[in-house]
Structure 1
């Protein structure tokens, strides 16, 4: 076995004898092009830096060229000669004479950026090798406080940062390009049912107010416990995953593609979420499902619904205290493999900040998390719907409707979010505020108060409200929804005067 392995690997050099990947000729050709025509520097300076060169001397030359060019001066072998006469790094390759040789050996380069990308790609490979060696060495050490899962998380964070530095296609975008993209978005909304530009939540009135959930937006859905945050988020996630979108094929025809949703549940297990959705869609009480206390008819209904639900692209990750970096890695992987339409996070205060380190100030820690979620939304170009707790200040007021100031450990939550929504159910508070007869209160006065309370309870029964308190791209306002507590299901609200005539 060992001899066979040795034979298979005999053509490969020993790991310790491998040289770091580099291309000296590409570095020389790039520098020669810059010395011959300083405009070449502008074509690579947006992504290429001095420390990206494998040869330190080449990095010093590139840096010196940049300093002169950015001052509006000419960078040539002559203007750089004085700077490098006494430079020790350059002396190893021939001193200032080396600059003259670079300029003399210049060959016209058609695509300077191509050479810049070669230098940059090799730099990333060297960094990747160093990172891999560090991961191996740290894994061998037994005296570290960090366990293996934390080491994996930190490695993922470092890999992401390395991948992020490799994005060389950014920079300024022509207005006409941005304008074309805006027109395409408007056209998509015009052609779509309901005139929705973003991902439809499936709730008619809410979609009309928001225009759907827009790509690259961070949306905060906040509320006090028992208001139905998770229920509403689960309803939206299911409705999105069960829908399909129109995509334009290569031949110009339009095809339907299923939507894909990633649901990161830090509070509930995947099985609990699945039970909720099963209850919502089968209309069988969730507590009856948990106890198995259902009739044969209900059981058959549940089985039938489960078959239909198994085909939707809803992916649940119930890792507790997941970090921003781990979430980003898993979401990127899902988008690459299946596509991605929406990310749901339940809820952000339970997440670990980037890098896994705990900040001394909880507000700063939550701010790091919201900034990380906003970065994920922009990078993956999908809406991120993050749930958030509200402070107890709501309970101290007579009017329990939440306000932006109630956001718990708000920090940058309000600032980073494109949309802030609150879910509010007045029924919850009214049921816990049954009037008690006051001392020396007349019976008729007490009955009047009690009747008023009963009337309010009847008006609020089975209703919820979504309050849009901030919307960067549109109006604010509130929309009513129906709510069934038995199945934790929200639905579109239809006023009595809009009910269809069934005669």
Structure 2
């Protein structure tokens, strides 16, 4: 691959393109300022690195300056000799290191322009790396046996180019915080007022929510109910189905719309139900009820998960993603434990939602006794912004959510064993929010009968 990549890079048209995105004069002006202004280097930290310089000589000089700063030594004209000695090999072609560095110092840019210089160098470096990523994609498409492997590498290259924002001063953080207060970020209600209340109004971009439960506890039904509410509210989102398929999920949703049981849509379907289902499907787009992007991915790997989430954001313009469920993400690298693999999945999700500006709701499996495994504790406790366990109780088909962790709201339970917040009801089935209904006579009578 290296030889093919170099051949492409040496094509005259590509070389000219790369050269257009290099500015040696700006690099020289910045280095001159760093060599003559004692405090200038600190203004570049977090904005650029040595690898951002197009000229390898300039990269070596910047690296040498950084090394001296890390040793607590002031960078000024008295260190020109030390820097020249450090970079002597790469400076020989310029007739001697001291001569070239003295020329840089003599042409130093203005101290007030150091940040502008650094930002320009960084932006040009990103453009050159994007061109290189495109060249690598060409080589991979031609040489890689499995196209999935090529796509995974290309996505990784693209992710690495996303600017994380660099360092920010306290004043910059405070200004951004106040601006956020003036125009708060959008919140996406789940359709369950009891959950929304505990989560500060619903789901926010940049946050990861996790609901864990035993097998058959109703995790998918709850996620389906949230998806149903988002769809009706016009919120475009993706549903990554690693267990239950898209058609099975939609059978529950359509049954809820038609006021029937999902089993009525399976096997020999009554003519009346079939006609109503067909009418509903035909008018879903017209009624603006086409806001879910389904991805059937049983046995889906980490690479596939990464691909689909990026596609949900950039191709389908989704506000968030539902992942059903965490422990089914495969693709564990050789020599990696299951715990480490799933922890990396959780860490990647937590970082990605912040970078992409989306939310993710991820379901997870508990053991049969309702306890979290070591995987859950190390993976989700550390990475989820909200972590809740879906619990059953003695009241038939009722559930409540035990709060386990929260980064931005008080960690509270949603309902309790004696007063559950959710009940699985028909049509559908779907979960109904009991917590939002209050202690009306009907609910209290049902609870009394169950306890009796």
Aligned residues of 1:222 and 1:407 also touching (Cα < 8 A) = no
Aligned residues of 2:207 and 2:385 also touching (Cα < 8 A) = yes
1:386 match: 362
Aligned residues of 1:263 and 1:314 also touching (Cα < 8 A) = yes
1:134 match: 136
Counterparts in 2 of 1:16 and 1:420: CA distance versus 1, 3 Å: closer
Match of 1:259 among 213, 218, 235: 235
Largest Rg, 1 or 2: 1
Counterparts in 2 of 1:173 and 1:314: CA distance versus 1, 3 Å: farther
Shift of 1:383: 2.5
1:100 and 2:99 are equivalent in the alignment: no
1:350 match: 328
1:420 match: 387
**Aligned 1:306-317 pairs, distance under 5 A:** 306=281, 309-310=284-285, 311-312=288-289, 313-317=291-295
1:227 match: 217
Structure 1 length as normaliser, TM-score? 0.73
Unaligned runs of 5+ in 2: 1-10, 416-420, 444-452
1:467 match: 402
Q: 1:346 and 1:213 mapped to 2: Cα distance?
A: 17
2:57 match: 57
Match of 2:413 among 477, 481, 496: 477
**Aligned 1:221-370 pairs, distance under 5 A:** 221-243=211-233, 258-296=234-272, 298-306=273-281, 309-310=284-285, 311-312=288-289, 313-324=291-302, 326-336=304-314, 339-352=317-330, 357-370=333-346
2:178 match: 180
1:40 and 2:35 are equivalent in the alignment: no
Shift of 1:416: 1.6
1:443 match: none
Q: 1:363 and 1:333 mapped to 2: Cα distance?
A: 27
1:432 match: none
Counterparts in 2 of 1:77 and 1:352: CA distance versus 1, 3 Å: farther
Shift of 1:337: 5.7
Aligned residues of 2:339 and 2:374 also touching (Cα < 8 A) = no
Q: 1:135 and 1:336 mapped to 2: Cα distance?
A: 19
Aligned residues of 2:46 and 2:166 also touching (Cα < 8 A) = no
Aligned residues of 2:212 and 2:364 also touching (Cα < 8 A) = yes
Q: 2:398 and 2:428 mapped to 1: Cα distance?
A: 14
Q: For residues 293-348 of structure 1, what are the alpha-carbon distances to aligned partners after superposition, in whole Å with 9 as ceiling and x for unaligned?
A: 2351x345434543564323222222344444554454445434664432210111
Q: 1:368 and 1:314 mapped to 2: Cα distance?
A: 27
Counterparts in 2 of 1:409 and 1:278: CA distance versus 1, 3 Å: same
Q: 2:292 and 2:35 mapped to 1: Cα distance?
A: 55
**Residue 378 of structure 2 aligns to a residue in which SS?**
coil
**Aligned 1:481-496 pairs, distance under 5 A:** 481-484=422-425, 487-493=428-434, 494=437
Aligned residues of 1:362 and 1:409 also touching (Cα < 8 A) = no
Q: Which deviates more, 260-269 or 109-118? A: 109-118
Q: Which deviates more, 40-49 or 69-78? A: 69-78
How many aligned positions are there? 417
Counterparts in 2 of 1:121 and 1:331: CA distance versus 1, 3 Å: same
Counterparts in 2 of 1:462 and 1:304: CA distance versus 1, 3 Å: farther
Match of 1:218 among 198, 208, 213: 208
Shift of 1:372: 1.0
Aligned residues of 2:346 and 2:383 also touching (Cα < 8 A) = yes
1:167 match: 164
Q: Which deviates more, 18-27 or 212-221? A: 18-27
Shift of 1:81: 1.6
**Residue 79 of structure 2 aligns to a residue in which SS?**
coil
